[in-house]
Structure 1
Amino acid sequence: MSLMTEVARVGAVDLGSNSFHLVVAQESQGRIQVVDRIKERVGLGAGIQRRGQLDEEVAERALRCLERFHERLRGVPHRRIRAVGTKAFRDLRKHPDFHERAEHALGCRIEVVSGEEEARLIYLGVRETQGGAGGSMLVVDIGGGSTELVSGDGAEPKVAESLSMGSSSYSLRFFPDGELKKRNFTRAVLRARNQIKPIRGTLAKQGWERAFGTSGTFLALAKILEANDWGTGGITASGLQRLRDTLLDFSNMDEVEVEGLKEHRRGVLPGGLAIAQAVLEEIAVERLPVSDAALREGLLVDLLGRLSDRDVRADSVTHLAKRFYVEEAQAARVAKTAQAVFEAVRKPWRLSKSRDRPFLQWAAELHEIGLVISHTGFHRHGAYLIEHSDPPGFSRDETRLLGELIRLQRRRIPRDVGSNLAPGMRRRFLRLLMPLRVAVRLHRGRHEDDQPGFDFTADEHTLVLHGPAGWREEFPLTEDNLLAEARAWRDHPLHLELREDA
């Protein structure tokens, strides 16, 4: 018998506006141990055209990169991989064809995360590389299409903000074709400062003992400053000003010769520099140390948490339930029954215990969240609250899935149900919706003895409720509700059947 055992690996894929990153890691003695990294310059954000469509040459470059990532991830189970798209993918949401092609090339689902979720993951990554040390911390990340500023004093951030400005977008906007002019720098810095000002007070109120810059822009700037003796140990305002003055000795970025500047950074340097100057001026720090950890490391931390039942999404659901005064006892009753139905349908309906069961649980726990607004249409109010609260840990697709489950917990089920969901979620949405709707129907009485005590069985297309002898006479309102539910599914591939056992 071999003494060697294979360590379970995890993969994190960060699909940014400038570069795509893949990190493969394993957990060793409670710490994340990176075993491989791949970074490729793709320029996805720069390839998005005015009408929101993606240049085909850029699309092909991105897909070839994802195919290489797919090869490296062979042997890693899908549940141990988390791939996220950031600003550029958010901008491409109206053109889902590329997203589907990208998922096919990568071989797994790609989540599109909100700016706030992106900021949270960046914070997790930097804190992890700092040994999880205590004390408040501010992290700033200048990406290709957005800039995240996030602060906190523990495992989760308190303030997470994402601003629509990045090194690529600002370079294209203020320095077209690499043209360098003093007034363009002035305009770019002023615009960036104006975007930061509204959140400066919130960040200052939270406060921080340590601050870090992270990701490509800050790392590139730090290398240039150090190579030219304009500063060591991080980013300084004086060092950035010397770099800006040097760039203005040239008329175009193509002509710039400066130590430490890598060729692939040439086109996005001026925009990133302008934002960095604005950040240091607005947050008033003398020196900003640079961390090489970023979103991908945060993905690993978050993924390992999910795999070990430390899922921040569950905490987000608990917080929402408390915030909007959800009745805990009723939520627990509905959740218990929904899970009993889930166990009956899981195998014949090909649902996953690890992937699907949590969403049914969370939908049951939050199904009455809309009552805080009004009983009339509370299912619609609840969906709105979920989809606009940006709960930490959830991707945009996951938030939409949870919102749709809550919205369709009652009333009619439209024929195009799930059409606004990601393709992978669309296929299993109805199979999660039926257990939730049945559980909500069964507990309309809001007490422990409000239903007959059904047993549940299922085949490939039908859920069967087995009630004890005489249940129809004893619970006429329940029967009426369940018959209405069965009728609601007539135009759909799943069916509900009621039986009375002898």
Structure 2
Amino acid sequence: MTEHTRPREIAAIDMGSNSFHMVVARVVGQSLQIVSRHKQRVHLASGLDEHHNLDQPSIQRGLNCLAMFAERLQGFEPDNVRIAATYTLRQANNAHVFLKRAETLLPYPIEIIPGTEEARLIYLGVAHTQPDTGRKLIVDIGGGSTELVIGEGFETELTYSKHMGCVSYNQHYFPKGKISSKRMAAAQLAAEQKLESIASLYTRAGWQAAIGSSGTIKAIREVLIGLGYNDGIITPERLDKLYEAILKAKHYDDLAFEGLSDDRKPVFAAGVAILCAVFKSLAISEMVFSDGALREGLLYEMEDRFRHSDIRTRTASAMAKQYNVDIAQANRVKDCAEMLYNQIDSHPGLARSELATLLNWGALLHEVGLSISYPGFHRHSAYLLRHSTMPGFNLEQQTVLATLVRFQRKSLKFEEMPELSIYKRKHLYPLIRTLRLAVVLNGQRSDEPLPSITVTADKETWLLTLPPNWEQDNRLLAADLRQEQEYWQKVGWSLQLGEHTDEKPAEKPAEKPEN
């Protein structure tokens, strides 16, 4: 087979709270052919202390696993690998420590994804790997969280992620591996309380098929098959029998079910308690198991990137509508930012297109905070972008958007800039400068097109070249630009203003004008 006809290989890694999974697939025509699966139990969630910091042994277990995965990914292009981290790294205050060390092992960005995004991707993984059953309820009980999704086709309608998982519940309700009816009842009740706020939403929405995915539900299915239920269907009656069978054990070491592996034993009782709560709260009559899960969702979306773009575009548009954004103004700022950013050479070699796309969405949504109040609206905008549910965006992307809109105007207080893991601060500075200039240049909110404007950038020194006599005709805007020069100067940046001449524009920045 020649180089030109060799199928593209893609890989996805799911860094879960209990296990890390990697799946590698070959793109063949319109479908994906799985060529290898790798799984390592790392018990990451069990390393979270009461202050939500990961301890060193759990960090090391995770890194050891990633080092092994890296061997399989030798020679993979960055565009062909997607890595998503879930509940435990969402919760860990020192997640950045883990990610920094992981960078040295894997030359690919690790995305920490919000719970609702995890739910959406799980749904996508199941929907792509199951025969179409119409309207579906997908339940995924992980180590630290449980995702519940209703959707049809490849589109989700309800997505929730609840902070209850087999590892976290095992630590809380089954300390030292002790099992009792009191402990099982407490764990189930706690899970029912978590589900109380969404149960009626789900039962009203309804579904034709309930499908479980990932390790906990897979283990329950395997044990039920071992108990003689060969069709592998999970029902309330079968769960009750399993529940009673678990109560005969006093410790997880005593669990001797056919089909239950030794490394699943410690978290099995907690997983069953959570699934019993899900069945009871949502009145589920039966559930089947699907091999598709988060990692398959990552794979299919990677191969179908336009769908990912569509989702993010739809999310941004819906958010703009929700917060009554002045779309005409948002588009003026977006178009201006795009025009300016295309003129500068910011960090060649980086994912420039991804940064440019984030700049576009930041420009589109920079005024969402006006719906709260005008004073400090840039801060309100940042809060909304950081903490809203935004399907298609990972936490890092939401943080970048929030950072851009936070620094769109007023003083540049960089001590308030959040920690980033995929991008560095220096990658964001050109975006911030570009958005600020686009906001200032469109401050009049006028439909009149902007005149010819060019920008040249030399690190922290930017030269904005405007038409001759422009300042005399636009005194208010000129005053705003002088104010902007002062903001830049306070952080060691330089914004210089020049005028177009009939001659070829000067290569070097002009002298900075007096303020």
1:237–1:280: 8 Å Cα contact kept in structure 2?
A: yes
* 1:36-115 matches, cutoff 5 A: 36-94=36-94, 96-115=96-115
Q: Distance in 1 between matches of 2:349 and 2:288?
A: 49
Amino acid at match of 1:27: V
1:192 match:
191
Q: TM-score, normalised by structure 1?
A: 0.94
How many aligned residue pairs are there?
A: 501
Q: Could you tell me which residue of structure 2 aligns to residue 263 of structure 1?
A: 262
| Higher deviation after alignment, 461-470 or 363-372 | 461-470
1:230 Cα shift?
Answer: 3.6
* C-alpha contact 2:20 2:40 (8 A) present in aligned 1: yes
Taking the aligned partners of 1:309 and 1:394, their CA distance within structure 2 comes to 9
Superposition TM-score, scaled by structure 2 size = 0.92
Q: 1:349: how far off?
A: 6.5
Match of 1:486, SS state, is: helix
Q: CA deviation at 1:308?
A: 6.8
Aligned to 1:361: 360
Structural mapping, 1:155-170, within 5 Å: 155-170=154-169
CA–CA distance in 1 between the matches of 2:209 and 2:141? 18
Q: Which amino acid aligns with 2:180?
A: K
Look up the match of 1:400.
399
Compute the displacement of 1:291 (Å): 0.6
Inter-CA distance 385–41: structure 2 relative to 1 (3 Å threshold) = same
Letter in 2 for 1:407: R
| Secondary structure of 1:106's aligned partner | coil
Q: Deviations over 1:446-482 (max 9, x none)?
A: 1243643212222333322111222122222222222
CA distance in 2, matches of 1:242, 1:134: 28
Aligned to 1:153: 152
Deviations 1:298-338 (A, max 9, x none): 11233233367744212110111112221222111111110
The aligned amino acid for 2:89 is: F
Aligned-pair Cα RMSD in Å: 2.1
Tell me the equivalent position of 1:374: 373
The CA distance in 2 between the partners of 1:277 and 1:432, in whole Å, is 49
Deviations 1:339-392 (A, max 9, x none): 111111135666533220111000111112222222222212212222221211
In the other structure, the counterpart of 2:122 is 122
Unpaired stretches in structure 1, ≥5 consecutive residues: none
Q: Map 1:437-448 to 2 at 5 A.
A: 437-448=436-447
Residue of structure 2 in register with 1:182 after alignment: 181
Asked if residue 286 in structure 1 is aligned to residue 251 in structure 2, the reply is no
- Equivalent residue of 1:303, what SS? helix
1:15 corresponds to:
15
In the alignment, the residues of structure 2 paired with residue 494 and residue 107 of structure 1 have an alpha-carbon distance, to the nearest angstrom, of: 31
The equivalences for 1:458-497 within 5 A come to 458-492=457-491, 494-497=493-496
In structure 2, C-alpha distance between the alignment counterparts of 1:367 and 1:184, rounded to whole Å: 49
Alpha-carbon contact 1:10-1:80 (below 8 Å) kept: yes
The alignment status of 1:205 with 2:209, answered yes or no, reads no
Are the aligned partners of 1:418 and 1:429 in contact in 2 as well (CA < 8 Å)? no
Which stretch of the first structure deviates more once superposed, 60-69 or 456-465?
456-465
| CA offset digits 1:253-278 (Å, max 9, x no partner) | 21222211111101110100111111
Tell me the secondary structure at the aligned position of residue 425 of structure 2: helix
Instruction: State the secondary structure of the residue aligned to 1:344.
Output: coil
Counterparts of 1:120 and 1:201, CA distance in 2:
20
Give the match for residue 233 of structure 2.
234
AA in 2 matched with 1:49: D
Q: Deviations over 1:367-419 (max 9, x none)?
A: 12222222222212212222221211111221121011112111111142534
Taking the aligned partners of 2:321 and 2:67, their CA distance within structure 1 comes to 44
Cα drift, residue 493 of structure 1? 5.5
Find the residue that maps to 2:155 and give its secondary structure.
Answer: coil
Query: Structure 1 residues 233, 315: closer, same or farther in 2, change over 3 A?
Result: same
How far apart are 1:95 and its partner, in Å? Answer: 5.1
CA contact (8 A) 1:66 1:105 kept: yes
* Other-structure match for 1:218: 217
Query: Which range moves more in the overlay, 261-270 or 27-36?
Result: 27-36
Distance of aligned partners of 1:282 and 1:349 in 2 relative to their CA distance in 1, 3 Å threshold: same
Cα 1:55–1:153 shift into 2, 3 Å: same
3-state SS of paired residue (2:218): helix
- The offset of 1:22, in angstroms, is 1.0
Tell me by how many angstroms 1:435 deviates: 0.6
After superposition, give the CA deviation of every residue in 1:82-138 in whole Å (9 maximum; x if it has no partner). 21111111121345312321233232221211211111111111111125x372111
Partner of 2:434, secondary structure, is helix
Per-residue deviation, residues 194-214 of structure 1 (Å, max 9, x unmatched):
221221111112211111011
Q: Evaluate the alpha carbon distance shift between residue 305 and residue 491 of structure 1 in structure 2; reply closer, same or farther with a 3 A threshold.
A: farther
